[in-house]
Amino acid sequence: MATQLFQKIQQLKHQRNAVILAHNYQPGEIQDLADFCGDSLELSRKAAQTSAEIIVFCGVQFMAETAAILSPEKTVLLPDKFAGCPLADMITAEQLRQLKHQNPDALVVCYVNSSAEVKAESDYCCTSANAVEVVNSLPANRPIIFIPDQHLGRFVIERTGRNLILWPGYCPTHVVITIEDIKKVKEKYHDAIVMAHPECTEPVKELADQILSTGQMLKFVRTSSVKKFIVATEIGIIHTLKKQNPQTEFIAASDRAICPNMKKITLDKIISSLEDMQYKVTVPEEIRMKAKKALDRMVEILPEK
């Protein structure tokens, strides 16, 4: 059945001159089907580089929006219009305007997990991989508002020594991972390295050997001689880790670390998306231009390697 669906998607993709991009947290079969897998920013860059006219973005709303911000001439489709990100929804543009009003001298750094409107109100964008470098590059005499993820924010405070103004946002999928989960798996796999995403809570990060973004986890494992890892992030990444490192063992820190929004994308929905050209993700031009500035500033600080 899955093979038939795969074939149908390949056929439609060809007819439409489309490319399929999938986030590392997508279900395994969708990662297998995709032309490119990666983190949100890698995928948006792929979207900008591709010669395909249609981009089927297997991820969540803010990721598809970021692709639309960087590639306005392409059609960006999100196969499930309800695939949102609760973390991105935890701050609105209006709430950010109020925060800026209360801190008129502050620069705003927003995590890429935010809406286009929030990016448009921000000075700089960042990812979990480069948040420390972005903050380190800013003038020492300026206060910094960091939104929306408080846990990533605390990680940046610890690494930079800067006193950030945080917003109480969090990723519901990462905060379900507890210290008890880590202790339990560590007891069983005492020789494994614990990798935790910066969106995890502080006690969990304290127990980790490495605090890494998804892209950094993939790289770290590839270059490590260790053959056993405990993975404290959304479990979808274990599919890619196993594929890239078949001889290595990966243990999920918690089987509950599943993002329900990421799992909304299915093969059937990708077919409907390509057949009916749905659901188009667009960003109004005025917002797009401002949001792009925040993304461009991040790239200027940290050019693509």
Q: Residue numbers of the site for ligand SF4 (CB under 6 A)?
A: 25, 60, 85-87, 113, 171-173, 234, 259, 261-262
Rg (CA), the chain: 19
Contact 77, 19 (CB under 8 A): no
How far apart, in Å, do the first and last CA atoms of the chain sit? 40
Token duo for residue 259 = 């993002």
Q: How far is the CB of 85 from ligand SF4 (least distance, A)?
A: 3
Q: How far is the CB of 139 from ligand SF4 (least distance, A)?
A: 29
DSSP element (H, E) containing 57: strand 54-58
Token duo for residue 98 = 């109020």
CA distance 4 to 49: 29
Nearer to ligand SF4, 52 or 69 (CB): 69
Q: How far is the CB of 127 from ligand SF4 (least distance, A)?
A: 12
Q: How far is the CB of 259 from ligand SF4 (least distance, A)?
A: 3
Q: How far is the CB of 67 from ligand SF4 (least distance, A)?
A: 15
Contact 52, 36 (CB under 8 A): no
Nearer to ligand SF4, 25 or 155 (CB): 25
Sign, CA dihedral 87-259-245-211, equals positive
